Structure 1
Amino acid sequence: MKSRGLYRRHSVPFKLQVCQDIRAGVIGWRDARRTHQISANLIQLWLTQVDRGELNDEEAEASVIADCGTRISALERKVGQFTMELDLAKKHRACRP
């Protein structure tokens, strides 16, 4: 028996795009369900949230900014690690006769 995987989390821009496509008639419910492998209940929840104003462009921008901040932090750590390795390599090379 297969174990169920972790729950997927969808970004706010993705949710907005799916909802806008459905409302504009670009894609139907069934096509959205098949293409993105999401349930009809989840699509209905997103559409309700859009109608209530709970999902908006400001939240989408905040989500993107938070993701960028996380990536920047990871890259800064990596740069620090490479800097330390480079300094160590320089010291090792300087110690050789």
Structure 2
Amino acid sequence: MLEHTLETLARDADFRYYIKDGKGYFVPKDNTAEQIVLSSETGLLEVRRVDDESEEKQEKYRLKSLLIWKAAVDTRIKLDSIKVKGSFKVVEYEHRCPPR
């Protein structure tokens, strides 16, 4: 019931919502806030194209970089690599430490 209410509220206000670490976040769908520039000079390590199996058929990439603590869902990334250039929105992320 709560999830349905949150979905309705977000849709009516033209927002996107998500829950992370027990906290709810509402972000405008057209969020054009600050962009994080990601290039080899700022910590970009790898860019890999991912097949998009959704109906939207958008370009999707999986990135590997040094820690970008500001990255979160709906963060804007300005990608500047040899393979890909452009602005993208983060739809999923994971902060991970490599095994020792």
Higher helix share goes to which structure? 1
Higher strand share goes to which structure? 2
Higher relative contact order (CA 8 A, sep 6+): 1
Q: Would you call these one fold, judging by a TM-score over 0.5?
A: no
User: Which category describes the TM-score, using the shorter chain as reference length?
Assistant: under 0.3
Rg larger in 1 or in 2? 1
Q: Provide TM-score, normalisation by structure 1.
A: 0.19
